[in-house]
Chain A
Amino acid sequence: MIDFYRPFDRSNRTEVIMNLKGKRILIIDDDPDFVRSTGMILKSAGYEVLEAFSGKEGLEKSKAENPDLYIIDLMMETYSEGSRVVEALIEDENTRDKPRIMITSVDLKGPWDSYPRDEWLACDFLLQKPVPPAELLKYVEKAIA
């Protein structure tokens, strides 16, 4: 599993959240099967799950529901829609400091891939689909805590 730590400083967050249960997670992915299986994994650990099936819907839900964590697919209808979502989240000061996990089906291990990695760096973690359930929960916990 490859992950990149967000280069942002989070040290000013003094509050340590011990109880993760009941935290609300917004999944933004245009693949309904992923939204469903990812939702099942998160619910099994006690999280509340919100769903959005496009970048636009994701940003609307974000405004309306104010979730605690975002799980965002990189390639949706457009090539880097996920990155656009992240940009919008960063621009808004209400969501700027919320943890984000980017998930993609793009092969991340290939040493020769040409995809611009910088685009992903604004997330706490970058995970490759399929994410084993235990792995996903581990990263969600790390990102929220």
Chain B
Amino acid sequence: MELIMLLEKANVLVIDDEEILRNSCKKILTEEGHVVRWAENGDQGLEVFKEFHPDLVLIDLKMPGKSGMEVLEELESEDPDVIKIVITGYPTVSSALDAMKKGAYDFIPKPFSPDELVLIVTRGLEKRRLLIEKRALLIGQEKIRRNMISLVSHELRAPIAATVQYLEVILEGMAGEVSSEAEDLIRRCDERLREMLELINKWINLAVFDPIKMAEHFEDVNLSEMALKSMELLKSSAAKKKVRLSLEAQKNVPVIMGSKICLEEVFNNLIGNAIKYNRKKGRVEVKIYEQENDVCFEVNDNGIGIEKENLPRIFDEFYRVDGRRNSPIQGSGLGLAIVKTMVDAHGGAISVDSRFGKGTSFKIRLPKVIHLEKGS
């Protein structure tokens, strides 16, 4: 209802070099209740278009300066949902057809009567209304999908969370004395269930990940700072395994455009893995340097390495090289899938080199920010 109301009083832009035609269009359409503005050439038309946000544009195909066809193409790339109608002289019906291929909704041949103009504009606005409704529907569907996932995530997490909380109450002795063996078993239950919660979180986050939404939060990111932060976070787990962490960062390395929160995930996963799949007293070296148009980030370890036949699958969801239940190293099998998704979403690339028993090296390339000089 609101949409229909909106378009009964629509914004219409007329781009035409003939003053008489502009004035008569304005008079006729204003009487119909629309807000009409005009421009006398293509460049002016584009300017007005940007601030006026018209629902419909009438474009004369034959104008001095920028041609109607060029204007049409530019408007189409600005907003394909705005209705464009071309005004054409009788001898150029073929160019009107051309225009329709380039995104015009309809054409109106000169000379035209007020009734003809009103009819074509009304039809165009009806189309506009349908386009707006369709878009609103799509946005609504996406919202429902995301809410659905968030709801499912909640339903999956809630019973596990309730169980874990009971276990922790028991472990604290709040439900009476617990034998030391029972305590040990309950602690294991607690750990396993917390791992499962973590798995659900990761999987859901991967499922709802939306690169476009992420790109809305892009900012300048200094990778050296990010690496330091991540190493600080993982310091204690490295110390536990007596793994030595080191950072070699090129000075004044250029910033990249990215989402800090997502890149944090990348750094934590790669450095975390390098620690986790290492040997006691092993090494993890992080390197950051500029290479051509990219900033590179390397994580090298001299840990257990990955067998050649397993390498192609390590970025797959739920793939674990050591998938045994009793594997000494536990993981979700999602870490590298998340890393790959994030790197791809930043327009970057990831590669891996590994020698079984010797160590692994991950390298990420992210495009650096190029500041365009004025005039270039």
Task: Spell out A's residues near B (CB within 8 Å).
Answer: 31, 33-34, 37-38, 40-41, 44, 75, 79, 104-107, 109-115, 129-134
Chain B residues numbered 160-211 whose CB sits less than 8 Å from any CB in chain A: 161-166, 168-169, 172, 174-175, 200-201, 204-205, 208-210
B146 CB contacts on chain A under 8 angstroms: 114
> Could you jot down 5 A-B contacts, CB within 8 Å?
A79-B151, A105-B158, A112-B205, A113-B150, A130-B161
Q: Please determine whether B174 and A41 come into contact, CB atoms closer than 8 angstroms.
A: yes
A115 CB contacts on chain B under 8 angstroms: 150
Q: Out of A38, A107, A114, which one reaches B157, CB within 8 Å?
A: A107
Q: Shortest CB–CB separation between residue A52 and chain B, in angstroms?
A: 17
- Inter-chain contact total with CB atoms closer than 8 Å: 83
A40 CB contacts on chain B under 8 angstroms: 169, 174-175
Q: Out of B174, B205, B214, which one reaches A113, CB within 8 Å?
A: B205
A34 to B162 Cα, complex, angstroms: 6
Of the candidates A33, A38, A105, A109, the one having the most CB atoms from chain B within 10 angstroms of its own CB is A105
Q: Shortest CB–CB separation between residue B290 and chain A, in angstroms?
A: 27
Q: Please determine whether B147 and A79 come into contact, CB atoms closer than 8 angstroms.
A: yes
A50 to B372 Cα, complex, angstroms: 63
Which stretch of B89-97, B257-265, B322-330 is in the interface?
A: B257-265
Chain A interface main SS type? loop
Q: Is B213 an interface residue (CB 8 A)?
A: yes
B265 CB contacts on chain A under 8 angstroms: 111
Q: Please determine whether A106 and B154 come into contact, CB atoms closer than 8 angstroms.
A: yes
Q: Please determine whether B205 and A111 come into contact, CB atoms closer than 8 angstroms.
A: yes
Q: Shortest CB–CB separation between residue A81 and chain B, in angstroms?
A: 12
B190: nearest chain-A partner, CB-CB: A130
B161 CB contacts on chain A under 8 angstroms: 34, 105, 129-130
A31 CB contacts on chain B under 8 angstroms: 158, 162
A33 to B163 Cα, complex, angstroms: 8
Q: Please determine whether A111 and B208 come into contact, CB atoms closer than 8 angstroms.
A: no
Given contacts A37-B166, A112-B205, 7 further A-B pairs with CB under 8 A are: A31-B158, A37-B162, A40-B174, A44-B174, A75-B154, A107-B200, A111-B262
Q: Please determine whether A112 and B150 come into contact, CB atoms closer than 8 angstroms.
A: no
Q: Out of B147, B158, B166, B262, which one reaches A112, CB within 8 Å?
A: B262
A112 to B154 Cα, complex, angstroms: 15
Give a binary string over B127-154; 1 marks a CB under 8 Å from any A CB, 0 the rest.
0000000000000000000110011011
A132 to B169 Cα, complex, angstroms: 8
B259: nearest chain-A partner, CB-CB: A111
B175 CB contacts on chain A under 8 angstroms: 40
A114 to B207 Cα, complex, angstroms: 12
A105 CB contacts on chain B under 8 angstroms: 154, 157-158, 161
Q: Shortest CB–CB separation between residue A43 and chain B, in angstroms?
A: 8
Q: Please determine whether A129 and B205 come into contact, CB atoms closer than 8 angstroms.
A: no
Pairs A-B, 8 closest by C-beta atoms: A129-B161, A111-B261, A130-B164, A130-B165, A33-B162, A105-B158, A105-B157, A107-B201
A75 to B161 Cα, complex, angstroms: 14
User: Which range holds the interface residue count of chain B?
Assistant: 20 to 34
A104 CB contacts on chain B under 8 angstroms: 154
Task: Spell out B's residues near A (CB within 8 Å).
Answer: 146-147, 150-151, 153-154, 157-158, 161-166, 168-169, 172, 174-175, 200-201, 204-205, 208-210, 213-214, 259, 261-262, 264-265
B201: nearest chain-A partner, CB-CB: A107
Q: Please determine whether A109 and B264 come into contact, CB atoms closer than 8 angstroms.
A: no
B172 CB contacts on chain A under 8 angstroms: 41, 44, 133-134
Of the candidates B154, B175, B213, the one having the most CB atoms from chain A within 10 angstroms of its own CB is B154
Q: Shortest CB–CB separation between residue A38 and chain B, in angstroms?
A: 7
Q: Out of A37, A129, A134, which one reaches B158, CB within 8 Å?
A: A129
Q: A44-B174, A107-B153 are in contact. Are A133 and B169 (CB under 8 A)?
A: yes
B165 CB contacts on chain A under 8 angstroms: 33-34, 37-38, 129-131
A104 to B150 Cα, complex, angstroms: 12
Q: Out of A112, A132, A133, which one reaches B214, CB within 8 Å?
A: A112
A136: nearest chain-B partner, CB-CB: B165
A28 to B32 Cα, complex, angstroms: 57
B163 CB contacts on chain A under 8 angstroms: 33
B151 CB contacts on chain A under 8 angstroms: 79
A40 to B265 Cα, complex, angstroms: 36
Q: Please determine whether A109 and B201 come into contact, CB atoms closer than 8 angstroms.
A: yes
Q: Shortest CB–CB separation between residue A70 and chain B, in angstroms?
A: 18
B210 CB contacts on chain A under 8 angstroms: 112
A111 CB contacts on chain B under 8 angstroms: 205, 259, 261-262, 264-265
A88 to B2 Cα, complex, angstroms: 31
